[in-house]
Structure 1
Amino acid sequence: VGNFIQLIATFVGGFVIAFVKGWLLTFVMLSSIPLFVLSVAFMGILISKMASRGQTAYSVAATVVEQTVGSIRTVASFTGEKQAIAHYNNSLIKAYDSGVQAGLASGFGMGSVMLIMMCSYALAIWFGGKMILEKGYTGGEVINVIFSVLTGS
C-alpha cells in the first residue's frame, strides 16, 4: 500500500509540475509514455515467464536429488548412480538455458527501456530548444518539465 501511494503521488506530482511549468512541452513528451509503458510491461511479462521456467527446471532437479538420496540403497544396488547423475545434469542444463534466456530478455528489455528514455530526452531537448526560441520558455523551465514528466511517468 505504501509503495502504491508513493507511485501515485509521484505520478500526479510530476505531471502537475510539468503542466504548470510548460504545458506544450509536456503534451509533446506525453507521446513517448505509451512506448515506455509497453516496453516495461513486455519486459516484465517476459522475465516472469522465464523465471517461472527456471524455477520449474530447478524443482525437477531437486526432485531428482531427493528421490536419489531417499532411495540410495536401491540406486546403489542397481548401479544407477551414473543414470541419476545424468538425469540431474539434464535438469540443470534446462535450468541454465532458462537463466540465459531470462538474462537475454532482461538485457533486451532494459535496452529498449533505455532507448525509449534517451529518445524521449532527445525529443524533449529538441522541442524545448524550439520552445525557448519561439515561445519564450527558459532553459530552467524546459529542464524542469523534462525531469517532471520522466519522473512522473
Structure 2
Amino acid sequence: MRKVYLEALLRQDIGWYDTVQDKSFVSGVSEDIGKVQEAGEKLGLCIYHLFMSVICFTVSLYYGWLLTLIVTPVFGVVGIVVSSLQDRMTVQEQKAYTKSGSIAQEVLANIKTVMAFSGQRKEFKHYDDGSVFALTAGKKRGLVAAIGNGTLWFFNYASQALALWYGIKLILDGERTCGTDSTFTSQNLII
C-alpha cells in the first residue's frame, strides 16, 4: 500500500504540490495504513458477533420462543438509541477538534506574522478557547458512552431477571416443564 501511495505521489504534476496545504504525506500514509489494519480487525469481530447473535437467537427461539420474543426487543431499542446518541456526540467532538486544529494550523502557517506582532499570547488564548469546546464535547461524549453502557448492562441484567421470573411462571402455569426436554443455565439467560 505504501508503494502504491508513493507511486501516486510521484505521478502528480509539480504544480499539484503547490496547491496542497498539508505536506505531511508520510504521516498521512502511516495513519491510513493503521486505519486499514483496524478495519480488518473490526471486520472480523463484526462477522463473529453477527453470526454469534444469529446463532444464539435461533437457539433461544427453538428452546423458548415466547421468552425470547419478550426479552429480545429491549436490546434492539436500547442499542439503537445509545448508538445514535454516541454518533451525534462524536460528530460534535470531531467538529470541535477540527475547529481547534484549524486555529493551530492557521497560526503555524503565519508564524512569522504572529511573532512579528508579538501575538503569541493572543493566539494561545484563541487556541485555548477553541480547545475548551473540544474538551467539553469530549466530556459529553464520554458521559453519553458511560450512561449508554450502563443502560445496556442494566437492561442485560433486567432481562435476565425477567427471563427467570417469566420462565418460572411458565413452569408453574404448566406451559413448560423443567424436566428432560430443556435445560436452562445462567448462560442461557445471557444469550
TM-score bracket for this pair, using the shorter chain length: 0.7 to 0.9
| Contact 2:97/2:134 (8 A) holds in 1 | yes
Indicate yes or no: 2:181 matched with 1:137.
no
| Contact 2:67/2:167 (8 A) holds in 1 | no
1 or 2 for the larger relative contact order (CA 8 Å, sep ≥6)?
Answer: 1
Q: Larger Rg: 1 or 2?
A: 2
Aligned residues: 146
Per the alignment, residue 85 of structure 2 pairs with 46
Distance apart, 1:86 and its partner CA: 0.8
CA distance in 2, matches of 1:145, 1:74: 66
Per the alignment, residue 67 of structure 2 pairs with 28
- Within 5 Å, give how 1:2-151 maps onto structure 2: 5-21=47-63, 23=64, 26-133=65-172, 134=174, 135-138=176-179, 141-143=183-185, 146-147=188-189, 150-151=190-191
1:85–1:58: structure 2 CA closer, same or farther, 3 Å change rule? same
TM-score normalised per structure 1: 0.80
1:11–1:18: structure 2 CA closer, same or farther, 3 Å change rule? same
CA distance in 1, matches of 2:120, 2:79: 46
Amino acid at match of 1:15: F
Amino acid at match of 1:125: L
Greater helix proportion: 1
1:116–1:78: structure 2 CA closer, same or farther, 3 Å change rule? same
1:4–1:58: structure 2 CA closer, same or farther, 3 Å change rule? closer
Identical aligned pairs, as a percentage? 23
* Structure 2 runs not aligned, ≥5 long: 1-42
